[in-house]
Structure 1
Amino acid sequence: MSTADPGGDAAESDGTDPFGRAIRDVAHGERTEPLWCVDGDERLEHPIERFYFAERDDAVYETLDDDGVATPLLDLGAGAGRDVLRFQERYDGEVVGLEPSAHLVATMRERGVASAVRGDMFALRESFDRDRFRAVYAHGTQLGLARPPHRLREFLADLAVVTADDAVAVLDNYDPDADGARDLLGWRPDPTPGMGYRVVHFEYEGDVGDTLLFRPFAPDVLREACVGSEWSVAEVRYTNDHHYEVVLRKG
């Protein structure tokens, strides 16, 4: 089994939340065991420090500047707040980090995130007012939890409600048609063109998290989901053979 990325930026909204606890413990310097990403008898240590605390290349943020990202900005699945903190430095105006994990919301606040909110990225209307944001960012492939086509369309509709008319969204996912995606832990084949399955859960200090069902999908699946919505795919760019970022524009 490849040691490729063992999991996206996803956490359980309730229960024991081993994912959020482990990241919190790293932030406090108190982690005693690895955070495991598990599929059956196979497991990989989740690279917490690299995924949630290490500095990212400035080109990532410059790309967002090129896409016209403005504030207020919403970071979906903000983790420990690494990107939110950089956005706060780069942009004037409000930056909000959204996380379902109470441990991660507390961690963000402790690390200096001015606005950290606990909520579900697939229930945005429950957390935010209409036209609230001009930009949305999600890095960690949690978009795959939308399980297209219906839930993906519902997510796009909710995203349209909480964003302004000139909004831009920068999201990411894995392309199941790429060879590298098949090396991901928890990969399952899917006969549907442009679709895949990925099933994993997290374990930490004996606590077992909920099973996470990801649906990696190709950019064309997202393009199709945008038909009839307020969003269109403006650009797709690959960071490697199987991971891509997509820029959505409204209007």
Structure 2
Amino acid sequence: MSDPFGRAVRDHHRDERDEPLVQRDGDWTRDHPVEEFYFGEYAVDDEADEWLASRLDGPLLDLGAGAGRHALYFQERFETVALEVSEPLVETLRERGVEDARRGDMFALREQFDRERFRSALAIGTQLGLAGSMDGLRRFLADLAHVTASDATAVLDCYDPEREGIEEMLGYRDDPAPGLASRAMWFEYEGEASDVLVFRLFSPDRVREAALATDWTVEDVRYGPDEDAVHYRIALEKR
């Protein structure tokens, strides 16, 4: 499978990236901010980061760990396992000092980890949308419940299709169903294009609905960084 995203992030880490990583939806393009999104040092130095860190404990499962921004911070405090589907990103994680970086699929957790293996989970990067549907979201939450302890917590993020301004997002696709929409886009780097990525956008109420069929309940929702942001983080806890 073509992996321009993973290669671009790895090349950036190795100071070998001479071309932009481009996000595209037809003729609509933008340069993806690799340095800003993946290589700034994570620190708990404001209220939003305190909100996130206070909900996590070890062992922690970092899903879609990217270049390891969160994993590098949390592994100094408790056991952290970083999971990535991209081999170049796994290489990047290890080269940057992530102690337990593994290649794997966040949508096949039961096949990869024992029951109640983790105390908390983190999935930052809106890859939750790759669940693809409400059924897919329910399956993911059920699998995440399987590999986490009875008193576990989790923090996930997504874009809210009910927020004003969401239609300006690259790749946005409207949906008549309340609280749902889609986003279709792909990455290009050094003349190589990825497969089209189709994200399902779930409102917080839709995540609550999916969680009802699992052991999870929604504990809190935070939008940011601005009050009118379409991006949100959602904190879950076991019932």
- The residue number in structure 1 matching 2:21 is 35
Residue 48 of structure 1 aligns to which amino acid in structure 2?
V
Q: Distance in 2 between matches of 1:167 and 1:48?
A: 31
Q: Secondary structure at the match of 2:130?
A: helix
Out of 50, 73, 79, the position equivalent to 2:66 is 79
- The residue number in structure 2 matching 1:122 is 107
Q: Distance in 2 between matches of 1:66 and 1:103?
A: 31
Q: Within 5 Å, give how 1:99-178 maps onto structure 2.
A: 99-178=84-163
8 A contact 2:42–2:73 mirrored in 1: no
What is the Cα deviation at residue 55 of structure 1? 2.7
Q: Distance in 1 between matches of 2:102 and 2:83?
A: 5
Q: Secondary structure at the match of 2:142?
A: helix
Q: Distance in 2 between matches of 1:23 and 1:132?
A: 29
8 A contact 2:160–2:179 mirrored in 1: yes
8 A contact 2:138–2:213 mirrored in 1: no
Q: Distance in 1 between matches of 2:38 and 2:74?
A: 15
What is the Cα deviation at residue 148 of structure 1? 2.5
8 A contact 2:138–2:210 mirrored in 1: yes
- The residue number in structure 2 matching 1:250 is 238
Kindly tell me the number of residue pairs found equivalent between the two proteins: 234
Q: Secondary structure at the match of 1:113?
A: coil
Out of 213, 222, 236, the position equivalent to 2:221 is 236
TM-score by length of 2: 0.95
4+ runs of 1 displaced by more than 6 Å? none
Q: Secondary structure at the match of 1:23?
A: helix
- The residue number in structure 2 matching 1:209 is 194
What is the Cα deviation at residue 61 of structure 1? 3.9
Q: Secondary structure at the match of 1:97?
A: strand
Residue 250 of structure 1 aligns to which amino acid in structure 2?
K
TM-score by length of 1: 0.90
Out of 165, 170, 188, the position equivalent to 1:180 is 165
Residue 148 of structure 1 aligns to which amino acid in structure 2?
S
8 A contact 2:20–2:189 mirrored in 1: yes
- The residue number in structure 1 matching 2:11 is 25
Q: Deviations over 1:6-59 (max 9, x none)?
A: xxxxxxxxx120000000000000001100001001111000000000134523
Give the unaligned 5+ runs of structure 1.
Answer: 1-14
Q: Secondary structure at the match of 1:216?
A: strand
Q: Distance in 2 between matches of 1:42 and 1:164?
A: 43
Give the unaligned 5+ runs of structure 2.
Answer: none
Q: Distance in 2 between matches of 1:22 and 1:53?
A: 13
Q: Within 5 Å, give how 1:5-24 maps onto structure 2.
A: 15-24=1-10
